[in-house]
């Protein structure tokens, strides 16, 4: 990624991440029918395990989104590697809890098995890439660590791209459930393709 791309791409990602990172707070001030909760049956909303998983997913997922983009700052890594590592540990713990919770609530996704498969797959990819990134750093394989964390944050950024794609799909398809089935995959698969392009360019510049 050239300097011009960084100057445009990085601020956009950071602003969107901050905005959506704080989004889960709205669930504490509005009725239980707010947002996606309005599509859930009453018995599920009264289920303590589901509720704990839902709020664990959105709160810690929001935290991961809020702090994850900071880790791609070269200035931070060069000037304060200790802070970079501390933020990285918080990010990983947040992903582990949010990802596991996300996989559980994925089984109850609006739209049935097709949506469920999309969100469960996202949770698995998010967990796998984050864990791989962590252990790569521990082994001193910084190149692989950076690549895996790009994939990890691309999966994390699905929280943003879902909220961009969903209204577009609802308007174009005229059906929320149908749109939600599509967005369960569309919110993250293209993100991984972008991550692939970024890691390929990174490999090319370092080889």
More confident residue, 44 or 78: 44
For residue range 9-58, list pLDDT tens digits in order.
Answer: 778 888 999 888 888 878 777 666 666 777 888 899 889 999 999 999 99
Mean pLDDT, rounded, for 83-104: 96
Contact 184, 174 (CB under 8 A): no
Report the run of H or E that residue 168 belongs to, with start and end. helix 158-173
Q: Give the pLDDT score at 32.
A: 63
Question: Pseudo-torsion of CA 149, 11, 162, 38, nearest 10°?
Answer: 120
- % of the chain exceeding 90 in pLDDT: 69
pLDDT given for residue 4 in this prediction: 47
- Can you spell out the DSSP letters for 15-60? HHHHHHHTGGGGGGTS-TTSGGGGGS-HHHHT-HHHHHHHHHHHHH
Confidence at residue 73, expressed as pLDDT on a 0 to 100 scale = 84
Query: CA geometry: angle at 188 spanning 33 and 112, to 5°?
Result: 50
CA 51, chain centre distance (Å): 20
Q: pLDDT at residue 134 above 90? A: yes
Token pair 């392009």: residue: 197
pLDDT in tens, 166-197: 999 999 999 999 999 999 999 999 999 999 99
CB of 188 closer than 8 Å to CB of 158: yes
């Amino acid at each position: 990624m050239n300097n011009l791309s960084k100057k445009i791409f990085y601020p956009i990602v950071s602003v969107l991440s901050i905005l959506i990172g704080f989004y889960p707070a709205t669930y504490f001030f509005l009725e239980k029918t707010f947002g996606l909760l309005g599509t859930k049956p009453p018995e599920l909303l009264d289920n303590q395990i589901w509720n704990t998983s839902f709020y664990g997913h959105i709160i810690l997922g929001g935290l991961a989104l809020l702090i994850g983009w900071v880790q791609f700052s070269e200035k931070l890594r060069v000037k304060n590697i200790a802070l970079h590592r501390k933020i990285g540990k918080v990010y990983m713990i947040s992903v582990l809890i949010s990802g596991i919770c996300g996989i559980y609530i994925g089984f109850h996704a609006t739209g049935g098995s097709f949506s469920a498969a999309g969100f469960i797959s996202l949770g698995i990819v998010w967990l796998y890439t984050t864990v791989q990134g962590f252990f790569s750093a521990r082994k001193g394989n910084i190149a692989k660590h950076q690549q895996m964390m790009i994939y990890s944050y691309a999966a994390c950024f699905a929280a943003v791209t879902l909220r961009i794609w969903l209204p577009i799909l609802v308007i174009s398809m005229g059906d929320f459930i149908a749109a939600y089935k599509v967005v369960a995959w569309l919110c993250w698969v293209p993100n991984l393709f972008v991550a692939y392009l970024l890691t390929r360019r990174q490999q090319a510049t370092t080889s």
